[in-house]
C-alpha cells in the first residue's frame, strides 16, 4: 500500500482537498431508480460524488468516488479499483495512492473534519455530505436519492438479492449479491444532522430527486440548477 500521507500537498492527501471547492456547488449522486431519468449532461455539469456501483452508468465517471459498506467493497473491489477518480474508502480498504482513508466513528455527530473521522449515518450519502463540507462546497444537490426500497427482513440485515434489483438504477446492481437492508429511519436522523450543520454555516443541501420519500432535506427542481 502506498503512503498517501507522505506528501501533504499532493492530490492523494487530505490537506490538498481542504476547502478546494470553497463556495462552489456539487452533486451527490444516489443510485435509486430515478437516476435513470437524470440527463447525463446534468451529471457532468458540477463536481460530483458517485458511490458504490455508480460505475454501472454508461458514459459517466464522477469527480470523486466514495464507498463505506464492506459488502460493496469486498464484492466489487476490482471494479472500484478501475474507477478513474480520487476515492474515499475506509482506511483498511485503501489500495492505491488515489485513495483517501476514512476513519469511522460511532459518535452520532456530523464531522466538520472528514480528514480525521466521519460518522457513516447508515448511508454513504451522509458520508459524502461530510466530505463535501470539508471541501468547502456551499450548495450540495442530491439526485437519485429516492429513499424508497423494496426489501424483506430487518434494517441493516445482510441479504442476498434474488432476481433483478428494483431499488437501484441498474437491474444488476445487487442481483445475486449480498447487500444490507436500508435503515431509512437512522438515515433521516443523519440527514437532520447534515442539514443543521450546513444551514448554521450558510450552506444548503437540496434534494432534487422527483418523488423522493425523504422528508428531512430542502427540496428543489433540477430545472432550476
This prediction's pTM: 0.93
Residue 9 has what pLDDT?
A: 47
Percentage of residues in the chain with pLDDT exceeding 90?
92
Closest by Cα among 218, 210, 225 to 36: 210
Averaged pLDDT of the chain: 93
In a domain, 4, yes or no: no
Show contacts of 35-44: CB within 8 Å, 24+ apart: 35/143, 35/144, 35/169, 36/169, 37/210, 38/143, 38/144, 38/222, 42/143, 42/222, 42/225, 43/143
Residue 97 has what pLDDT?
A: 78
Residue 111 has what pLDDT?
A: 98
In a domain, 191, yes or no: yes
Residue 1 has what pLDDT?
A: 31
In a domain, 60, yes or no: yes
Residue 95 has what pLDDT?
A: 78
Here the cell at position 174 is: 445487487
Residue 172 has what pLDDT?
A: 97
Looking at the structure of the chain, the number of domains it has is: 1
Torsion (CA) 30, 39, 207, 167 in degrees, nearest 10: -40
Residue 4 has what pLDDT?
A: 29
Most confident listed range (10-24, 89-103, 173-187): 173-187
Residue 56 DSSP label: G
Residue 117 has what pLDDT?
A: 97
Q: How far is CA 99 from the centre of its chain?
A: 15
pLDDT > 70? residue 75: yes
Residue 11 has what pLDDT?
A: 60
In a domain, 169, yes or no: yes
DSSP SS3 for 140: strand
Report pLDDT digits (tens) over 65-74. Answer: 999 999 999 9
In a domain, 3, yes or no: no
Query: Residue 165 belongs to what domain range?
Result: 14-224
Report pLDDT digits (tens) over 109-167. Answer: 999 999 999 999 999 999 999 999 999 999 999 999 999 999 999 999 999 999 999 99
In a domain, 138, yes or no: yes
In a domain, 5, yes or no: no
pLDDT > 80? residue 204: yes
Phi, psi of 52 (to 5 degrees): 50, -110
Count other C-beta atoms under 10 Å from residue 84's C-beta. Answer: 9
Residue 2 has what pLDDT?
A: 32
Residue 6 has what pLDDT?
A: 33
In a domain, 7, yes or no: no
Amino acid at each position: 500500500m502506498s503512503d498517501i500521507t507522505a506528501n501533504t500537498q499532493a492530490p492523494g492527501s487530505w490537506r490538498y482537498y481542504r476547502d478546494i471547492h470553497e463556495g462552489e456547488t456539487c452533486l451527490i449522486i444516489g443510485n435509486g431508480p430515478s437516476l435513470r431519468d437524470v440527463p447525463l449532461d446534468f451529471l457532468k455539469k458540477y463536481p460530483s460524488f458517485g458511490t458504490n456501483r455508480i460505475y454501472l452508468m454508461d458514459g459517466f465517471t464522477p469527480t470523486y468516488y466514495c464507498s463505506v459498506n464492506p459488502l460493496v467493497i469486498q464484492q466489487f473491489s476490482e471494479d472500484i479499483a478501475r474507477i478513474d477518480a480520487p476515492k474515499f474508502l475506509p482506511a483498511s480498504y485503501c489500495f492505491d495512492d488515489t485513495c483517501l482513508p476514512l476513519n469511522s466513528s460511532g459518535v452520532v455527530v456530523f464531522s466538520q473534519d472528514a480528514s480525521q473521522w466521519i460518522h457513516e449515518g447508515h448511508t454513504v450519502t451522509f458520508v459524502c455530505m461530510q466530505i463535501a463540507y470539508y471541501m468547502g462546497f456551499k450548495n450540495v444537490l442530491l439526485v437519485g436519492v429516492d429513499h424508497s426500497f423494496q426489501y424483506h427482513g430487518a434494517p441493516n440485515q445482510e441479504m442476498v438479492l434474488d432476481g433483478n434489483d428494483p431499488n437501484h438504477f441498474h437491474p444488476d446492481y445487487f442481483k445475486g449479491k449480498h447487500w444490507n437492508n436500508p435503515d431509512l429511519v437512522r438515515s433521516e436522523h443523519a440527514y437532520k444532522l447534515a442539514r443543521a450543520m450546513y444551514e448554521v454555516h450558510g450552506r444548503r443541501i437540496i434534494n432534487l430527486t422527483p418523488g423522493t420519500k425523504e422528508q428531512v432535506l430542502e427540496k428543489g427542481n433540477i430545472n432550476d440548477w
